[in-house]
Each structure stands twice: as C-alpha cells, then as structure tokens.
Structure 1
C-alpha cells in the first residue's frame, strides 16, 4: 500500500467520525499511524486500516478531552461503552470514566472575546464616557455637577456626600436620581 492509498483510506475513515472540525486532524492521526506501522514492517492493508481507525478513535474520543487520559484498553472500552476486564480499581475506573464522559469543553475550543483588553472596546467606552460627561456639564447646574461627579467620578459614598452636603442619604439619592434623569434625557437614553 503506497502513501496515496493510505491517504485515501484515512480520508474515507475520517468521515466515519462525523466531525468536520476535526477532519484534517483525524486524517493526520490515521496517516501517521499507518506510516509508523509500515516503519515497523506491518504492511498488511487490513492491519493498517484497523490501526488507522484505532488512532482516529483515540484522537476523537480521548486526545481531545479537557484532561489527559492514558491510551490503553480500559479507556478505549470506556469511550465505547463496552465491558473490559481490567486490573484497575473500581475507583480508578470511575475517575477515568468521569474524565472521558465529561461535558467540559477545552478552553482553546471556545471563542472568548476579552472585551477588557480589546483596544476598540476600550476606545468606545472612553468616548461614551466623554460624551456623557460633556452632556452632564451642559445640562446640570454647578451644584448638581459637583454632586454627580463626586459620586461617580470621585467615587464618594452616599453617606460621605450626605455629610458634606449637610443632609441625609435619602435626599442625596433623590438628587442623584434627578441628575441622572436630566443627563439621560439630554442624551435620549431610555431609562
């Protein structure tokens, strides 16, 4: 069996696993196993097919798991849901089965968008903040702007503001709410 025939056989076998995202990886695993078998002197076509199929099965069912699982008959039988007499303890088999049947997804296969480090998102947030501050300065009186900026830009607590303004917490909350309503109305933001 030459390399072209091995490649064709591995492509055919890879479709059996119905995993388009892993198709090329499956073919690579199969062809690699075939070439290793030929290197060891095993050139019989049926043996090459069986070993390529086994390598693909190991890849799709064991190597793509979120945790490293040993490649031996026990883990292969657990992946296939078949019985296999093993020398492993029941607890070991249970832990191995838990790892194989896990529904977790490896982090590299999940598309994660980190908005905090995306320069475009950071820029947009800064621009939004600048436009809100401009609107607040235009719409609010001097006292209202002092109150709003102390609370949200200087991060003072409502209790601190109540002490500074010589009033109670409830009054400060009401004043802040009125300021926010004025700013959101000027920006046409729905509440």
Structure 2
C-alpha cells in the first residue's frame, strides 16, 4: 500500500496493493492494522454507498458536531473527489484538494474530520463507497456551496446536477462560525 500526501495536511490518497492476473484482481479495501500503520484511523462505525449518474455533484457536506472522517473510493465508474478545510483557525481554511477516483485506478481518499467533502460523477454512472468514523447525524449535517468563488474549486464541469439542498447551500463565509469545526493543532 502506498500513501500519498496532498497539499492539505491530513488529507491522504491511498493506493492499495492490487494483485491481478488474467482472471481479474484482488485487493484489500481496508485493513485495520495496515491503515493504522499508515496514520489512518482504525475504527469505522458506518459504511455508506451511493449510486449516481454522469454530472451528479454531491457536496460539499460535513457534520459538526459528530464530525466524520471518511475513507472514500469508487467501486464502479469515475468521480472527481474534493476535500475542503473548513476548520476555523486552520492555516489552510478554505483551501481544497481534488483527485480522480475510479474503479480503474482503485485509489482511495482519506478525508479527515473537519473537512467538507464532495464529488462529481465523470463516468456514465458511479458506485461510490464511504467508510465513516462517526454515524450520520441529521441535526449536525451542513453544506457549503459547491461553486463558492472564495474556495475556487476547479470542477471538471460547469453545470452539474444538484439536489435542492446542495443548490441552496451557503458559501463558506455565510456559514455561522459556530457551525464550523475548530482547528486544533
């Protein structure tokens, strides 16, 4: 397994070992020991799965309180996946990083607690998996506007398909400070 740092400290790209031959391939999508050794959490409490069609953008989502760390990857298809640092007081506040995740490259992205997360589907359809460190809490969920000009995410499409909630999300500067996670070095 190879772990690649991104421009945002704590956000990591994981490239699992893949063993393949003419029959197909095998890989571990998560191993508590191996991932803990790489600095990722060893305990996940909830797995999620979403299926979306081309152009669907989900995000930018977060929870506070009950922040969730997420290990995300694609089982079928391809997405552009994004993490945004939304921790008040962070030297990286409002910065983002993105990576293409696909069933072909088999990469994973670790999105730590305190970050907003989103993705857009680039393939015809995508089956997207999340391992979460905290359970979903409807009362704690929040969203940041996907195309907030102050964040400036370079999405690979201009007119995504959005839920009503995501279309109505405020820019980061419009989220009340008390709703945002706090940076702790």
**Which TM-score bucket, shorter chain as reference?**
under 0.3
Greater strand content: 2
Q: Which has the higher contact order (CA 8 A, sep 6+)?
A: 2
Greater helix content: 1
Task: State the structure with more CA Rg.
Answer: 1
TM-score relative to the length of structure 1: 0.24
